[in-house]
Chains A and B, each alone.
Chain A
Amino acid sequence: MADVNRGNRPLSPFMIGQYYRPQMTSISSIMVRITGIASLGTAFLIVLWLLTAATSQSAFAAMDGFLRSFFGDVILLLATWAIWYHVLGRLRHVIWDFGYWLEVGISEKMGAAMFIGATILTVLTAIVV
């Protein structure tokens, strides 16, 4: 074990870009994690909005005004994209877990479909809502 080089080697999560070419499979997977954690922040905004609605007229006006401002619209649009992306990403995990579509080519196509699908669903949501 003496000649094993420990602690002075690149670790996997930080290899992308520098040593490891960004690929559809890795980037689409990382985005699932990022959008999942971002959705916890979205949940915070939604709960805050519900709490202010249940508390008072003035508190609601402040929170509702923020969410319906231009800045709020941008946040909600990004949050909607993140939620849709995450749903599609988790759907891909479910498909994989059942043992289907594990081939690299198909996985890459599903990755692209997650980006495109989330964008289409976000536009659809913006139109309907």
Chain B
Amino acid sequence: MRYLTDRKRAQGLGASGRGTQHHWQMMVSSILLCILIPLFVFTFGMGLGGTHEEVIAYFGRPFPAIVTALTLIVGVSHVMHEAQEAIEDYMDGTSGKLAYIAVSAFSYTLIVAGLFALVKLAL
């Protein structure tokens, strides 16, 4: 006789195969980004529109650099999960898995490329 708890029964289920973990993580990053995105939109907006020298100087300053780096990490991860959620809903099988991996590759490349640019601008 097998004993299954409610938790065990729910484990491994859902479109994501990971139950509610994804949902909870999205809630966490949503709340973080409700603060971060307004900061980023105006910070980035102020940085746009200058000469090359002004842009380098602007993103070399701590506040714009830190806000931009945080947005790259938290924000791009969030929209990556957003896109992967759509793939889980509308695509199946191998094509779905490959699309999911492609979105991961694209997003992680964006994050690291952006961070590299920020480091280079700041130093």
A2 at the interface (CB under 8 A from B): no
> How many of chain A's residues have a CB under 8 angstroms from any CB in B?
34
Interface of A is mostly: helix
Interface residues of B in 1-58 (CB under 8 A from A): 26-27, 30-31, 33-34, 37-38, 41-42, 44-46, 48-49, 52, 55-56
For this complex, into which size category does the number of interface residues on chain B fall?
35 or more
Listed stretches A16-24, A38-46, A104-112; interface member: A38-46
Interface of B is mostly: helix
- Given A40-B83, A90-B33, A94-B34, decide whether A54 and B116 contact each other with a Cβ distance below 8 A: yes
A78 at the interface (CB under 8 A from B): no
Tell me which residues across on chain B come within 8 A of A28, comparing CB atoms.
none
* Total CB contacts across the A-B interface at under 8 A: 104
A61 at the interface (CB under 8 A from B): yes
| A 90-102 binary contact with B (CB < 8 Å = 1; else 0) | 1101100100000
Tell me which residues across on chain A come within 8 A of B55, comparing CB atoms.
53, 60, 64
Q: Which residue of A lies closest to B45 (CB)?
A: A129
A108 CB to nearest B CB, Å:
21
A40 CA / B38 CA spacing, docked (Å): 17
- Given A50-B59, A94-B34, A128-B45, decide whether A37 and B121 contact each other with a Cβ distance below 8 A: no
Q: Of A43, A84, A97, which is within 8 A of B72 by CB?
A: A43
A83 at the interface (CB under 8 A from B): yes
- Given A47-B72, A60-B52, decide whether A40 and B31 contact each other with a Cβ distance below 8 A: no
A53 CA / B56 CA spacing, docked (Å): 7
* B117 and A54 contact, CB distance less than 8 A: yes
Tell me which residues across on chain A come within 8 A of B38, comparing CB atoms.
87
* B113 and A47 contact, CB distance less than 8 A: yes
* A47 and B117 contact, CB distance less than 8 A: yes
Tell me which residues across on chain A come within 8 A of B37, comparing CB atoms.
83, 87
A33 CA / B90 CA spacing, docked (Å): 12
* A97 and B33 contact, CB distance less than 8 A: no
* A33 and B48 contact, CB distance less than 8 A: no
Tell me which residues across on chain A come within 8 A of B78, comparing CB atoms.
36
Give chain B's interface residues, CB within 8 Å of chain A.
26-27, 30-31, 33-34, 37-38, 41-42, 44-46, 48-49, 52, 55-56, 59, 68, 72, 75-76, 78-80, 82-83, 85-86, 89-90, 103, 106-107, 110, 113-114, 116-118, 120-121
